[in-house]
Amino acid sequence: MAKKIKMNTAMRKEARKREDDYLKGLETKIQEYDPKTANSKFFKDLPISSQTLKGLSEAAFIKLTDIQRESIPVSLKGYDVLGAAKTGSGKTLAFLIPILEKLYRERWTEYDGLGALVISPTRELAMQIYEVLTKIGTHTSLSAGLVIGGKDVKFELERISRINILIGTPGRILQHLDQAVGLNTANLQMLVLDEADRCLDMGFKKTLDAIIGNLPPTRQTLLFSATQSNSLSDLARLSLTNYKSVGTKDITNKDDDEPATPKTLQQSYVISELADKLDVLFSFIKSHLKAKIIVFMSSSKQVHFVYETFRKMQPGISLLHLHGRQKQKARTETLDKFSRAQQVCLFATDVVARGIDFPAVDWVLQLDCPEDVDTYIHRVGRSARYGKKGRSLIILTPQEEVFLQRLKAKKIEPEKLTIKQSKKKSIKPQLQSLLFKDPELKYLAQKAFISYVKSIYIQKDKEVFKFDSLPTDDFAISLGLPGAPNIKFKGTKSFERAKELKNSSRKLKALEKADDDGEIRDKTKEVKTKYDKMFGRKNQTVLSEHYMNVTGVQGAENEEDEDNFMTIKRKDHILNEDELPELSLPTSIRGQKRALSKKASLSTKGNASKTVFDDDGVAHPVYELEGEEDFAKKGDAKTQKDEYLKKETEVMATADSTDKQVAKEKRQEKKRKRLEAMRREEMAEYSDNEGDVETQVYLGTGNLSDDMEDAESDTEDRQNKRARFNSTSDSEDDSDANEYGVTEIDAPETLEDLESLTARLIQ
């Protein structure tokens, strides 16, 4: 922080003049700076302020990297920038320095509000950017905030209005833009999108559009990434004006034969059968006990399973695991431990594939093939950063070998390795024995199996990921399972049938419509057996235990169920179709149609008549005429009429109150389901791949040097977050929505009320 000295008016004037002159001089230097002639090597050669230089040198940033040399002067001159450079090449400083400089030159104070906004696709990356900013900005008087989840609103509102540089993930930033009255973007000078293409991949396009829509068009915008996609060019076209592309040659390899991966990275691959991959992994770890390794896998369930089982087999190196389904506190601790350790193996999903700057990673191992070459580049980019050496190994199954061609098209040609026979060790018997002893592990194995199969199924590149030729039985055995869990695509007969369906394009669409529970819901054709209904109620306490027993899915209520695309059934508990109650159905097609058609059945049955049964079980027509004498015996007509009306009114009143009760229950059920759906949606959005995964909001206290994390009260914050999140999404089109985004409706008093309620619900 700038040191405050007591000054009188004259001194203040003098200081002000000196500052004016200095800033003018700086501005002139920027305009006159010509990167070609300047040929700067060090930060001190750039036209930047002494306070930023001081911060940089204290953090040991002295020499410029290529992307910094190229892009900082362009950004300082005020151009929009599309910056692309290899992983680990120093892009973070390339956008943070221009932010600090711009706000400094504009003499930004806390009263000017938000001056710069930095958007990052993951929370981890946002935290990392914030940390770098706190280091290099320590001599400025600017304030910075990290927007990552739930302090109380009053606290946020108070702070956010004084933040000058805000860093966060797209969803959370939009929420603040929508809700925080104190967040004034009218003066915003700079917008930065880090890993911009990833923000788009993760489906944040709409959110980004909405954020950009909230910002003044006169701002300067910088987009940075280590890979480039068409969507990024689209975003650049839409959000940048008169922009300069910087460093893009570095990664597009149009003009030279250089790959988009760092030169100092030694890349290799091995071909292994799917069923042997875990053996290869274990053998690899055993023979690299002194290394710092990251192992990438395709899903959190795989990470969880491999971590839990390998831990029990004690390979002789510390093991860590990190995925988006862990609590934020655990994730932050793991990141920290991994960063500090020198000999350690981290099992992770792609949540840390991009941008995260772990120091000195020796090996990046890809146990599962990445979805595309860009993901490959980002994963291997966790090693060989900032010119250091590093190595990578990708394990491909014979079916996935075609991925090497995809890499070759981008000039990436890893070297083939074969594993020495002497180093190969099968861990299958150990895994089997572990699973046999521990049902929890068996459950994890089943989930890992399912999530892997699902991950292959949903891949876009069908030439690389061949769902049909998955050796499922062998794979299951390799996880220690007795055989492939009987995966049932609900609504179809079996796994084999699912494959068959997958090959038929129309039915594929149906499969793609599968909901979170793996059920392909075709509402028009859905027929529920009593077993379906029972399983459908698995969350209800009475049946849940039984459901778990039948399906062998113990502890499912404690697990996030993202992988229930397909459900598993324990082999020994398959329900036999012949156990189901027998139905006699018409065999001919015409007969079936007739049975299902009301109209057709009426034609054969004649008009319907309503019958009532008396106490002796004798049937009478509903309107049975009574003889005059019998009628007269009961009293005069008026009294009878009044009595009848009274009785009927009572019946109607009872029916009305029952109806109201039923309507109320239905409404509550609907509300519950809606909240549940929102929660699931939110979990999905804030999950594995993992974008806006924050569970807490934290704003910096208004000073760059202040710390950032308060991971307390996770659950409570999660609830708060959820509440606000829902409220955001609903508020636009539902003026009656309360703070939870749920429309409160009065109990219908009349039939009209009920009708209008129904109409609203249908809408």
Ligand X SMILES: Nc1ncnc2c1ncn2[C@@H]1O[C@H](COP(=O)(O)OP(=O)(O)OP(=O)(O)O)[C@@H](O)[C@H]1O
Distance CA(45)–CA(30), nearest Å, equals: 11
- Residues near ligand X (CB under 6 A), total: 19
Minimum separation from the CB atom of position 74 to ligand X (A): 16
Minimum separation from the CB atom of position 442 to ligand X (A): 38
Q: Does 87 bind ligand X (CB under 6 A)?
A: yes
Pick the piece of the chain touching ligand X (CB under 6 A) from 10-18, 81-89, 267-275, 611-619.
Answer: 81-89
Taking the least distance from each CB to ligand X, the nearer of 361 and 431 is 361
Q: Measuring CA to CA, how many Å separate 498 from each of 487, 519, 598, 632? A: 9, 12, 34, 73
Radius of gyration of the chain (CA): 33
CB 498 within 8 A of CB 489: yes
Pick the piece of the chain touching ligand X (CB under 6 A) from 87-95, 183-191, 458-466, 494-502.
Answer: 87-95
Contacts to ligand X from residues 331-350, by CB under 6 A? none
- To 10 degrees, what angle do helices 123-136 and 50-58 make? 110
Distance CA(219)–CA(191), nearest Å, equals: 7
Q: Distance between alpha carbon 693 and the CA centroid of its chain, in Å?
A: 6
Residue 93 structure tokens: 């400083």
Distance CA(169)–CA(119), nearest Å, equals: 5
Pick the piece of the chain touching ligand X (CB under 6 A) from 89-97, 166-174, 314-322, 458-466.
Answer: 89-97
Distance CA(557)–CA(443), nearest Å, equals: 13
Minimum separation from the CB atom of position 67 to ligand X (A): 7
Taking the least distance from each CB to ligand X, the nearer of 23 and 341 is 341
Cis previous bond, 124, omega within 30: no
Distance CA(123)–CA(100), nearest Å, equals: 22
CB 12 within 8 A of CB 40: no
Minimum separation from the CB atom of position 129 to ligand X (A): 9
Pick the piece of the chain touching ligand X (CB under 6 A) from 61-69, 309-317, 440-448, 526-534.
Answer: 61-69
Residue 546 structure tokens: 């039984």
Q: What single string gives the DSSP state of each residue in 232-275?
A: HHHHHHHH-SS-EEESHHHHH-SSSS--SS-TTEEEEEEE--GG
Distance CA(207)–CA(198), nearest Å, equals: 13
Distance CA(442)–CA(431), nearest Å, equals: 9
Q: Does 168 bind ligand X (CB under 6 A)?
A: no
Taking the least distance from each CB to ligand X, the nearer of 265 and 427 is 265
Pick the piece of the chain touching ligand X (CB under 6 A) from 83-91, 285-293, 322-330, 652-660.
Answer: 83-91
- Contact code string over 349-388 relative to ligand X, x by CB under 6 A: ------x-x-----------------------x---xx--
Q: Which of 92, 143, 164, 366 binds ligand X (CB under 6 A)?
A: 92
Contacts to ligand X from residues 385-414, by CB under 6 A? 385-386
Minimum separation from the CB atom of position 140 to ligand X (A): 19
Q: What are phi and psi of 210, to 5 degrees?
A: -65, -40
Minimum separation from the CB atom of position 120 to ligand X (A): 10
Query: Which element (helix H / strand E) includes 144?
Result: strand 144-147
Q: Which of 24, 63, 416, 620 binds ligand X (CB under 6 A)?
A: 63
Q: Does 259 bind ligand X (CB under 6 A)?
A: no
Q: Which of 55, 73, 83, 90 binds ligand X (CB under 6 A)?
A: 90
Minimum separation from the CB atom of position 59 to ligand X (A): 8
- Contact code string over 501-520 relative to ligand X, x by CB under 6 A: --------------------
Q: What single string gives the DSSP state of each residue in 91-116?
A: HHHHHHHHHHHHHHHTT--GGG---E
Q: Measuring CA to CA, how many Å separate 404 from each of 333, 398, 419, 588, 693? A: 35, 11, 18, 55, 32
Minimum separation from the CB atom of position 125 to ligand X (A): 7
Pick the piece of the chain touching ligand X (CB under 6 A) from 20-28, 88-96, 449-457, 583-591.
Answer: 88-96
Taking the least distance from each CB to ligand X, the nearer of 121 and 491 is 121
Amino acid at position 535, single letter: F
Q: Does 263 bind ligand X (CB under 6 A)?
A: no
Pick the piece of the chain touching ligand X (CB under 6 A) from 57-65, 465-473, 499-507, 675-683.
Answer: 57-65
Taking the least distance from each CB to ligand X, the nearer of 61 and 376 is 61
- 270 burial (CB, 10 Å; 0-12 / 13-18 / 19+) is middle
Taking the least distance from each CB to ligand X, the nearer of 113 and 381 is 381
Taking the least distance from each CB to ligand X, the nearer of 69 and 447 is 69
Distance CA(318)–CA(345), nearest Å, equals: 6
Minimum separation from the CB atom of position 192 to ligand X (A): 12
Distance CA(3)–CA(312), nearest Å, equals: 55
Minimum separation from the CB atom of position 226 to ligand X (A): 4
Distance CA(91)–CA(198), nearest Å, equals: 15
Q: Does 91 bind ligand X (CB under 6 A)?
A: yes
Taking the least distance from each CB to ligand X, the nearer of 69 and 538 is 69
CB 105 within 8 A of CB 52: no
Q: Which of 89, 261, 283, 687 binds ligand X (CB under 6 A)?
A: 89
Q: Does 61 bind ligand X (CB under 6 A)?
A: yes
Taking the least distance from each CB to ligand X, the nearer of 42 and 155 is 42
Taking the least distance from each CB to ligand X, the nearer of 235 and 556 is 235
Q: What are phi and psi of 612, to 5 degrees?
A: -115, 150
Minimum separation from the CB atom of position 93 to ligand X (A): 5
Q: Euclidean distance between the first and final Cα of the chain, in Å?
A: 56
Distance CA(449)–CA(435), nearest Å, equals: 13
Distance CA(314)–CA(334), nearest Å, equals: 19
Taking the least distance from each CB to ligand X, the nearer of 83 and 491 is 83
Pick the piece of the chain touching ligand X (CB under 6 A) from 82-90, 283-291, 576-584, 626-634.
Answer: 82-90
Distance CA(364)–CA(627), nearest Å, equals: 96
Minimum separation from the CB atom of position 61 to ligand X (A): 4
- 517 burial (CB, 10 Å; 0-12 / 13-18 / 19+) is middle
Minimum separation from the CB atom of position 310 to ligand X (A): 27
Taking the least distance from each CB to ligand X, the nearer of 197 and 717 is 197
Task: Name the residue number minimizing CB distance to ligand X.
Answer: 90
Q: Which of 82, 93, 100, 352 binds ligand X (CB under 6 A)?
A: 93
Pick the piece of the chain touching ligand X (CB under 6 A) from 59-67, 110-118, 608-616, 683-691.
Answer: 59-67
Sheet holding 415-416, edge to edge: 318-322, 344-348, 292-296, 363-366, 390-396, 265-271, 415-416
DSSP, collapsed to helix, strand or coil, labels residue 502 as: helix
Taking the least distance from each CB to ligand X, the nearer of 91 and 410 is 91
Q: Does 246 bind ligand X (CB under 6 A)?
A: no
Minimum separation from the CB atom of position 224 to ligand X (A): 7
Minimum separation from the CB atom of position 377 to ligand X (A): 9
Taking the least distance from each CB to ligand X, the nearer of 56 and 369 is 56
Please report, as ranges, the residues that interact with ligand X according to CB under 6 A.
61, 63-65, 68, 85, 87-93, 226, 355, 357, 381, 385-386
